[in-house]
Amino acid sequence: MNGVLVIDKPQGMTSHDVVNRVRRILGERSVGHLGTLDPSATGVLPLVIGSFTRLAQFYSDSEKTYEGVIRFGFATDTYDADGEATSTPQVVVLNREEVEGLGELFRGSIEQMPPPFSAKKVAGVPAYKLARKQREVQLKPVLVEVKEFAILDVAGDQATFRAHVGSGTYMRSIAHDMGQKLGCGAHLASLRRTAVAEFVVEDAHTLERLESEVRQGSAEEFCDRFFVHPRKLAPHLPCVTATEENVAMIRTGRSVNLPEMSRAPLVKVFYGQRELVAIGTRIAGTLFHAGIVLAASSHPLPARR
């Protein structure tokens, strides 16, 4: 079973919890995710299944889109609603124009300090492990890209936002830093991820529906209904439909000539419309080698006449 499955992660589960649950549902050991989502957050969590786990390298710098709520009035040690308050709660009535003006400071390339409770590593140890043991966490600011940060609504002490950000951006840190600038403290009250790279929330499935459908349908029906169509994956790479002979050669590690692809450094090689066989790397001219083979040999090389 090879493919990409988009899960609508529920609140309270870690990304690893979701991976383990899907492993049990599908009976497939090779399952990974494309970008960690905090336990308190919900939304898009793309999973790579079977040999498609090899595609993870193409998603290490994926952009993400979020919608969420920032609550002003006090900060927390985790920068979200799951943490302990680190400042005395204040009664805050927000002014929308002031919040929108503040939001402008968090657009573009900005330096951001990761939360102490995060997966960022300090001397090889994830920061959250040190923070849980109440050890000092010395993180360094990192440069992140915030392509969009829009305040959608302001009511009482809460501001609803939408953001489109580059890889490595923490929305928790933006919430915390906004609270510091207003002088009243703030934290991320809720967060929903609506997109990761080409994967959007409209394509996401709940774990409950996944489990129900697996029990009722065949494996082939399941793959057609739940897996993202392979031709939609890594859209920045061009596609080519190879001949049966070329596919057989690719699967056995031999280089092939793909005349249609004279300039592309990488190409997705398909057998038919749906079977993604490999990611080919151009050696020279139109000669390609399968740097990543995604399917075991199932089509024998035609006999030569």
Give 16-55 pLDDT, tens digit per residue.
Answer: 999 999 999 999 999 999 988 988 999 999 999 999 999 9
Share of the chain above pLDDT 70, in %: 88
Do 172 and 204 lie in one domain? The reply is: no
For range 150-166, the mean pLDDT: 97
User: Can you give the pLDDT at residue 123?
Assistant: 47
Report d(CA 118, CA 4) in Å as an integer.
26
For range 261-280, the mean pLDDT: 90
Share of the chain above pLDDT 90, in %: 70
Helices (H), 2-77: 15-26
User: Can you give the pLDDT at residue 305?
Assistant: 32
Nearest to 156 by CA among 83, 82, 69, 80: 69
Three-state DSSP state, 125: strand
Do 70 and 183 lie in one domain? The reply is: yes
For range 283-303, the mean pLDDT: 70
Mean pLDDT lowest for which of 19-28, 190-199, 248-257?
248-257
Do 56 and 90 lie in one domain? The reply is: no
Question: Is residue 80 situated within a structural domain?
Answer: yes
82 is catalytic: no
The CATH number of the domain where 284 resides is what? Answer: 2.30.130.10
Of the three residues 212, 229, 246, the one that is the final residue of a domain is: 229
Question: Is residue 168 situated within a structural domain?
Answer: yes
Question: Is residue 82 situated within a structural domain?
Answer: yes
Do 257 and 210 lie in one domain? The reply is: no
Do 41 and 99 lie in one domain? The reply is: no
- Cβ atoms of 56 and 15 within 8 Å: the answer is no
- At 5, which helix (H) or strand (E)? strand 3-9
- Count of domains in the chain? 3
Question: Is residue 163 situated within a structural domain?
Answer: yes
Which residues fall within 8 angstroms of residue 259, CB to CB, at 6 or more apart?
A: 286
Do 186 and 155 lie in one domain? The reply is: yes
State the catalytic residue, choosing from 8, 17, 38, 80. 38
Do 16 and 106 lie in one domain? The reply is: no
Three-state DSSP state, 16: helix
The CATH number of the domain where 145 resides is what? Answer: 3.30.2350.10
Tell me the residue range of the domain where 42 lies: 3-62+199-229
Residue 125 banded pLDDT, cuts 50, 70, 90: low
DSSP 203-247: G-B-HHHHHHHHHHS-HHHHHHHHBPPGGGSSTTS-EEE--HHHH
The larger pLDDT score, comparing residue 122 to residue 15, is at: 15
Helices (H), 68-204: 96-103, 127-132, 171-182
Do 71 and 115 lie in one domain? The reply is: yes
Report d(CA 208, CA 25) in Å as an integer.
10
